[in-house]
């Protein structure tokens, strides 16, 4: 496993649409392992492959309950709404207020290319939306209400999304 470089805002790749994954090759497995390691190293809650420069529809998320790997994720259903702070490893040091659904149901493939259904509320619902947006070239900064705020590292607690 290896830590990969996280692409930051201004890098054109972040605006590109990622491609559907059709098979898990050893290279894809390495990518997934590296994404998880890179997410933990950066204290992130989620990471999309495009953020390490690979245009594949792969997302990893850990809201404190262990790593989830979502391949070709699609949102099936949403309900309710939540308004709260959001940040992104590709936009370091900033956060902003974003409204997202409070409940999200997602269909994805796991590492064995088997279909899995996930349901998330609150932070997990926010993470699903944020990371799946990355796969279509969208950043949370497009959705921020008001101004982006500077966050000092000390302000982070475990409930913050980034
Ligand atoms: Zn992000």
Model confidence pLDDT, tens digit, residues 105-146: 999 999 999 999 999 999 999 999 999 999 999 999 999 999
Cα dihedral 3, 84, 128, 159 sign:
positive
Catalytically active residues, by annotation: 131
Question: How do strand 58-61 and strand 68-79 relate by DSSP bridges?
Answer: antiparallel
Q: Could you give the 3-state DSSP secondary structure of residue 35?
A: helix
Q: How far is the CA of 94 from the centre of ligand 1 (A)?
A: 11
Give ion ligand 1 contacts, CB < 5 A.
88
Q: How far is the CA of 9 from the centre of ligand 1 (A)?
A: 10
Q: How far is the CA of 162 from the centre of ligand 1 (A)?
A: 7
Spatial separation of the C-alpha atoms in residues 143 and 131, rounded to whole Å:
14
| Residue 152 pLDDT | 73
Q: How far is the CA of 72 from the centre of ligand 1 (A)?
A: 17
| Residue 39 pLDDT | 97
- List the chain residues with pLDDT less than 50: none
């Amino acid at each position: 496993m290896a830590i990969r470089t996280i692409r930051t805002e201004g890098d054109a790749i972040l605006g590109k649409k990622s491609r559907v994954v059709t098979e898990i090759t050893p290279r894809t497995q390495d990518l997934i392992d590296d994404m998880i390691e890179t997410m933990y190293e950066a204290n992130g809650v989620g990471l999309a492959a495009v953020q390490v420069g690979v245009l594949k529809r792969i997302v990893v998320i850990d809201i404190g309950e262990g790593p989830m790997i979502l391949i070709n994720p699609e949102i099936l259903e949403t309900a309710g709404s939540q308004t709260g702070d959001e940040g992104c490893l590709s936009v370091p040091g900033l956060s902003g207020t974003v409204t997202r659904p409070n409940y999200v149901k997602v269909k994805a493939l796991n590492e064995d290319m088997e279909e899995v259904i996930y349901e998330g509320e609150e932070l997990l619902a926010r993470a699903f939306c944020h990371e799946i947006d990355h796969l279509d070239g969208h950043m949370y900064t497009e959705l921020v209400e008001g101004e982006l705020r500077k966050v000092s590292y000390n302000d982070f607690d475990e409930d913050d999304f980034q």
